[in-house]
Structure 1
């Protein structure tokens, strides 16, 4: 794993850097195999990134969009990660409908919907049940409790080793989520983190001896590149440390 940590002066600079990385990864993947697979994050931090990407001239027919997690709500619900990305980005560009692969909530049960999406994922990537798909790029954020995707502290899903898609739990609220082993197969994982409220969690995530189950973002160690982009309010701790260097 190659880890990169950069502290940007503000959120605008963070979004600019994230866009540069995303476009570069898209171009590299498309050149190598004629398509690029990206998993999106929810939350407020990546929304301006999506809005910015909507203004780019990219080969949309070669880009396939997935989501790293989804709240257990309909696609048109205001809390839906899919809805946010569509409104900010996907509905504004000429990306084919078949290139968008949401975590469909059919209300059969969270477990069944997770299994359905895993089957769709494996069919797209052409991998068997004993393998994990390899994404070109997975976008992630963190909560102030150290969770990422819907991998919440001290929940059962953190121990999942066989499934690519599983059910996460936030105080009794089910979520559909990528699992740790799926995320860790990615060629590149990009964390976007903004705000002073993330400092304590970052301190623990980068600590040498904190509890992985208490701060699940610590479990993310992809076989490719791991990028942490932080705005200055989130990354103040790192200004006086060597963590801004490649490791």
Structure 2
């Protein structure tokens, strides 16, 4: 009898839990990855609107996340992107830096410049995580307020999220959940994160409870420096505490969208 590989063991565990086996898509480079993800996102939002009348997305920051938003904005003038009614798209964030609203470190600020202001998403549909100057004394208060906003939109639980996009750090962190951090074992939908190993040290992040309630979770990963963590997440059978990227999944689909460098340590 042949022995299962670690990757096959991961697939079996997901199947036993009733979760979808991850899809892996590899593009030749970061630029083509951003264009491919942008096209797929437009198609997914349009499909959600066809079914529900509206769509919802959770955005991520970082280089590849912002590049995707710029590509979506570039597509907005093309016929394939005109199928999305941007006035009926709810926008959320996976995490945010605890800095003032006009700080360039804010994921929200980058997303507005790259896409939201370009396509005209209404202010009432942009659900930004509170900034440090938004009237909350501590990030824990901001996290509780964002959790309340999520619950109000979802009739007491997380709202329907059609696509939740995540980046991943070289050590395997997603959103602002780092390996072996308190956030990795926190059961709340939104958590305050202190003493992050990368600056800025204080943040507000969705927890696994909110991330894993999304219909589709897309992990956007670019660069050779993240290849080891990609390989460990997809084939190592690790928990989300050890490697947070290994602990995220969608209820309908989990997609790893990689460039060739990030995929370089996956089995062929």
TM-score, L = length of structure 1 = 0.90
Tell me the SS of whatever aligns to 1:46.
Answer: helix
Tell me whether 1:175 sits opposite 2:203 in the alignment: yes
State the partner residue of 1:115: 144
Q: Is the 8 A contact 2:150 2:158 kept in 1?
A: no
Q: Which has the higher contact order (CA 8 A, sep 6+)?
A: 1
User: Which stretch shifts more, 19-28 or 175-184?
Assistant: 19-28
Give yes or no for contact 2:60–2:66 (8 Å, CA) kept in 1. no
Cα distance between partner residues in 2 of 1:89 and 1:132: 24
Aligned length: 236
Q: Do the aligned residues in 1 keep the contact of 2:216 with 2:249 (CA within 8 Å)?
A: no
Q: Secondary structure at the match of 1:89?
A: helix
Q: Distance in 1 between matches of 2:252 and 2:216?
A: 5
The TM-score with structure 2 as length reference comes to 0.84
Question: Is residue 2:104 matched to residue 1:66?
Answer: no
> Structure 2: how far apart are the matches of 1:95 and 1:8?
29
| Secondary structure of residue in 2 paired with 1:45 | helix
Pairing of 1:222-237 with structure 2 (within 5 A): 222-237=250-265
Which of 1 and 2 has greater Rg?
2
CA deviation after TM superposition for structure 1 residue 211, in Å: 4.8
User: Aligned-residue CA RMSD in angstroms?
Assistant: 1.5
Unaligned residue ranges in structure 1 (runs of 5+): 242-247
- For 1:133, the equivalent position in structure 2 comes to 159
| Aligned equivalent of 1:94, options 112, 120, 128 | 120
Superimposed CA distance per residue, residues 30-79 of structure 1 (whole angstroms, 9 cap, x where no aligned partner): 11111111000011112121112113133111111111100101121011
Deviates more, 1:20-29 or 1:184-193: 20-29
Q: Tell me whether 1:34 sits opposite 2:92 in the alignment.
A: no
Counterpart CA distance in 1 for 2:21 and 2:247 is 15
Contact kept? 2:218, 2:256, Cα under 8 Å: yes
Q: Which moved more, 1:201-210 or 1:182-191?
A: 201-210
Runs of 4+ in structure 1 deviating by more than 6 angstroms, as ranges, are none
Report SS of the residue matched to 2:22: strand
- Matches of 1:47 and 1:113 in 2, distance apart? 24
User: Gapped runs of 5+ residues in structure 2?
Assistant: 1-19, 77-81
